[in-house]
Structure 1
Amino acid sequence: MNYASWGPRAGAYIIDFLIVTPFSILAVVLGGPGVDAETGQATGPGPLYWVFIVLGIAVSGYNRWYLAGKTGQSWGKKALGIQLVGDASGQPIGFGMAFVRDLAHFVDGIICYIGYLWPLWDAKKQTLADKIVKTVVVR
């Protein structure tokens, strides 16, 4: 297999992150703290905050779990010509495993984010999450 190097993988992640960023910005700007009518004090996030947070999670989930699971390509991966597949099958991994892979990225981050750098020296260019769920990213 022609394994994708770290650069395109990181670039795809950045693209996927940038797609969701506007929802976070809108949540903070338009859904800022509500104000108690009697005391004039901030009461916490307004309802628009939660609307934009839920929309951001939905868009990210569609992109990273549904699309990446079904086709092997999130929007970022598609833009950079790489694909997420099962190591043994060479086929897209499905929604459930794409979700589990994102959960497994916790391991990549918990050790000072070293797991995200693992593809720099790994023979199959896998993160620790890829090793856990038995996936690879290919060109």
Structure 2
Amino acid sequence: MSYPPPNDPYGQGQQPPYGQGEQPQYGQQPQQPYGQPQYGQPQQPYGQPQQPYGQPAPGYGQPAYGAPGYGPGMPVGYASWIARVGSYLIDGLVTVPFTILAVTIGQGKDEYGLPTVNAAYYIFLLLGIVASGYNRWYLAGTTGQSWGKKALGQKLVDQNTGQTIGAGKAFLRDLAHVVDVITCYIGFLWPLWDEKKQTLSDKICSTVVVR
């Protein structure tokens, strides 16, 4: 008759009680029970998404990106009507030097004393249109700031995204000013009582001017 070895208290082939397995060998990491975090790794609370390392989670009620407002990176506050008039006047000064040169150099009188124009007249007028278009369409569309808007701290953006509108849409917005004119210029006064300080052309093109 044979007996179990003394180092086998449970008998040959008998399994140890549940949860008591073999001891890990020297240098081996012990296996963690299912669902328990590894040593030194905090467990993520239930219902909270894990944030990338080094990036804190946004506070309650704060947007995850962008500045406060109704769009990504959208500044707070619309430009007042008087401020918009000021930037419009500054932008209008761009063509003044070219107009003066066209009148003084490009105009003259014929032998009968009647006013005439030469090639310089049309060249300076064309340069004035190019300079104004670069300022009002390219700069205002791609950067949001013409020279007048930049001088008075304003920016032209899309009302839905808060992003710049591009040169093409800035050009269409200037064409839409026709609506502001044919309404007996009431469209230009619309920002005085409008919630978003928009002219009628702004509403047509979905644009706003912000501080």
Q: Flag whether TM exceeds 0.5 (same fold).
A: yes
The one-letter amino acid paired with 1:133 is C
Offset from partner CA, 1:43-77 (integer Å, 9 cap, x none): 74211110110100000000000000000000000
Residue of structure 2 aligned with 1:29, choices 80, 95, 104: 104
* Corresponding residue SS for 2:163: coil
| Structure 1 stretches of at least 4 aligned residues deviating more than 6 Å after TM superposition | none
Q: Which fold has the larger relative contact order, with Cα–Cα distance below 8 Å and residues 6 or more apart in sequence?
A: 1
Percent identity between matched residues is 61
Q: Separation in 1 of the partners of 2:108 and 2:136? A: 30
Q: Which has the higher helix share?
A: 1
Offset from partner CA, 1:56-113 (integer Å, 9 cap, x none): 0000000000000000000000000000000101011000000000000111112221
Q: TM-score, with normalisation over the residues of structure 2?
A: 0.61
Structure with higher Rg: it is 2
* Corresponding residue SS for 2:164: coil
Q: Which has the higher strand share?
A: 1
Offset from partner CA, 1:17-44 (integer Å, 9 cap, x none): 0121111121112111463xxx656474
Any conservation in 2 of the 1:87–1:136 contact (CA below 8 Å)? Answer: yes
Which structure 2 residues correspond to residues 110-129 of structure 1 after superposition, within 5 A? 110-129=182-201
Bigger mean CA offset, 25-34 vs 4-13: 25-34
Q: TM-score, with normalisation over the residues of structure 1?
A: 0.92
**1:63 aligned partner:** 135
**2:159 aligned partner:** 87
Any conservation in 2 of the 1:34–1:46 contact (CA below 8 Å)? Answer: no
Any conservation in 1 of the 2:107–2:115 contact (CA below 8 Å)? Answer: no
Q: Separation in 2 of the partners of 1:113 and 1:26? A: 30
Asked if 1:14 is matched to 2:92, the reply is no
**2:60 aligned partner:** none
The one-letter amino acid paired with 2:84 is R
| Structure 2 residues not aligned, in runs of 5+ | 1-75
Any conservation in 1 of the 2:144–2:165 contact (CA below 8 Å)? Answer: yes
Question: Could you say what the CA RMSD is over the residues aligned between the two structures, in angstroms?
Answer: 1.4
Q: Separation in 2 of the partners of 1:26 and 1:96? A: 29
| Structure 1 residues not aligned, in runs of 5+ | none
**2:118 aligned partner:** 46
Q: How many residues are matched?
A: 136
Deviation of the 1:118 alpha carbon: 0.6
